Amino acid sequence: MVSRSLRSCGGYGPRWAHRADPLVPQRIALLSMHTSPLHQPGTGDSGGMNVYIVEAAKRLAAHGAAVDIFTRATSSDEPPVADLAPGVRVRHVLAGPFEGLPKLDLPDQLCGFTAGVLRAHAARPYDLVHSHYWLSGQAGYQTRDRWGVPLVHTAHTLAKVKNAQLAAGDVAEPAARIVGEERVVAEADRLVANTDAEARDLVTYYDADPDRVSVVLPGVDLAQFSPGDRFTPTGPDTTADLRRRHDLPTDALILLFVGRIQPLKAPDVLLRAVAALRDRDPVLARRVVAVVAGGPSGSGTARPTYLHELAGTLGIADAVRFLPAQPAARLAELYRCADLVCVPSHNESFGLVALEAQACGTPVVAAAVGGLTTAVADGSTGALVDGHDPADWARVLHGLLLEPARRAALAAAARPHAARFSWERTADGLLAVYTDAITEYAARRPLSA
C-alpha cells in the first residue's frame, strides 16, 4: 500500500489525485515517439498500438488522471498541444523534419525528442512515464532519471521475436534495435506485457526480471464494435444491407483481412489460400471474395502494388477487393459484412483485429502465434492454424465455408468471448502496475531526493 504521506511530498515526487480513488496518479506522461495517436490506424506505422494508447489514455483519464501523450511532430499544421479527449492531450514534439520518417531514421531524432519531452515537465510535472515501443523507451529511461519518477514500458513488438518468425523475403530487424530493447528492458522499473506469451518472450529473449513483468490484457471498444442488427432479419443493418453499403456482393462468402500491408501481417497467405480453394473446390470458390482493407507499411512500402500484382498472377483478381484503411465506424461495418476474418500474421503481440472482429460477432481464422492464441478461442470462436502454408489455410477455410451452422455457432460465441476484454479492465490493470511502480520507486528513493 502506498504511504499517504507521499501525497504531500514536495518537489517532483509522486502526487495523487484527490478523487474517488486516492491511489490514482494525478499526471501521467505516455511516450509514443514514432506514431501519433491522432493518425488513422491501418497504414504507415499506425496500427493496434495507436488504438491501445488512445483507448487506455481515455480510460485512465476517466479514473481522474491527467494524461499527456508525447509524439514526434510530422506536420507544421499540427498544434503544439491538441485535446484528444477530456483529460487527455497530445503534445507534438519538434524532433527532426516535418515529415514521416522511416523507423530506421528515427533514432537520429531521439535527442531532440527527449529534450522536448523533458522541457514539458517544468510546466506540468508528471508522476510516472509510460513508454510505448523501444524508441520511446530510449527517451523514457532518460526522462525517468531526470524527473525522478518511475518508468513503465510496453514493447508491443520485440525484434528478437520478429526475427525468429520472419516472413520469407522480409527484412530482419537491425541489431541497433535489439541493443536498444535490451537497454530499455534493463532500465524500466516495470514492464507491461500484453499476454502471458509476451511475458515469457521478455524473460526468455531479453532476460527480464519476472518480478518486474506484469501482464495486462488489451481491450476492445465493445460499444463501437458490436454485432449491431446483422442477426436481425428485419433490422435496418442486416448483413445484406451492410454489404450493399460497402459495394460488396450480397451473396458472396466474404473473407476479410484488416491491417497494414506488409510481409509481417502476411495478407499474401490469404490470397494464396483463395487460389488454393479454387483447386480444392471450384464451385464453392466461385462464391468467395477476399476483401483486403489497409495500406502499405514497413517493408511493404517498397512494393506498394505487390498484392494487386499477386492477385493477378494467381488468377484471382476478380475475387479480391482492395480498400484503404477504414475509420472505426466503417471498420465495424466491414467486420459485420464478413463471413470470416483472417489474421495470418507471422507475429502478433496481441491481435486487436481478431478481438474487434469477434466483438462484432464474426468468427476468426488466425495464425497460432503470439497473442493470437489468447485473442482467439480455438474451436469456440474461430480456428487457429499452425504455420502459413496456403494449402493448410485453404483446408481450414474450406471446412468452415462448407458448414454455415458451424460458422453460426462460432459467431454466437464470439461476442461473449470478446466481452471478456475491455479497455476499462486494461486501465484498471495499468493503474495497478503504476501504483506498484510508484510504491517501489519511492521505497528505493529517499524522500529528500
State how far the alpha carbon of 179 is from the alpha carbons of 82, 135, 141, 225, 315, in Å.
33, 11, 14, 38, 44
C-alpha cell at 403: 458448414
138 annotated as a binding-site residue:
no
Inter-helix orientation angle 175-187/133-147, to 10°: 40
State how far the alpha carbon of 39 is from the alpha carbons of 35, 100, 412, in Å.
8, 12, 33
Query: Which residues are bridge partners to 378 per DSSP?
Result: 382
313 annotated as a binding-site residue:
no
Q: Residue 46: which of 346, 327, 305, 376 has the closest Cα?
A: 327
Both ends of the chain: CA-CA distance in Å?
21
162 annotated as a binding-site residue:
no
Residue type, 446: P
Q: In 245-368, at which residue ranges do the beta strands (DSSP E only) sit? A: 253-258, 288-293, 320-323, 340-343, 364-367
What is the DSSP pairing of strand 81-85 with strand 88-93? antiparallel
280 annotated as a binding-site residue:
no
205 annotated as a binding-site residue:
no
Q: Name the phi and psi angles at 142, rounded to 5.
A: -70, -40
177 annotated as a binding-site residue:
yes
183 annotated as a binding-site residue:
no
Residue 1 per-residue DSSP state? -
Distance CA 31, CA 142 (A): 12
399 annotated as a binding-site residue:
no
146 annotated as a binding-site residue:
no
182 annotated as a binding-site residue:
no
Distance CA 67, CA 83 (A): 10
Distance CA 228, CA 200 (A): 37
SS3 assignment, position 216: coil
Residue 305 per-residue DSSP state? T
338 annotated as a binding-site residue:
yes
Beta-carbon neighbour count of residue 251 at 10 Å? 8
260 annotated as a binding-site residue:
yes
194 annotated as a binding-site residue:
no
Distance CA 133, CA 186 (A): 14
272 annotated as a binding-site residue:
no
Distance CA 144, CA 135 (A): 15
Question: What is the residue whose three cell numbers read 453460426?
Answer: 408
157 annotated as a binding-site residue:
yes
15 annotated as a binding-site residue:
no
Query: Which residues are bridge partners to 288 per DSSP?
Result: 253
206 annotated as a binding-site residue:
no
Half-sphere exposure in the Cβ direction for 226 (13 Å, CA): 8
50 annotated as a binding-site residue:
yes
335 annotated as a binding-site residue:
yes
Cβ neighbors of 389 (< 8 A, separation 6 or more) are none
45 annotated as a binding-site residue:
yes
| Residues tagged in the binding site annotation for UDP-N-acetyl-alpha-D-glucosamine | 40-41, 48, 260, 265, 326, 348, 356
| Residues tagged in the binding site annotation | 34, 40-41, 45-50, 103, 133, 157, 177, 260, 265, 326, 335-336, 338, 348, 356, 362
| Residues tagged in the binding site annotation for 1D-myo-inositol 3-phosphate | 34, 45-50, 103, 133, 157, 177
| Residues tagged in the binding site annotation for Mg(2+) | 335-336, 338, 362
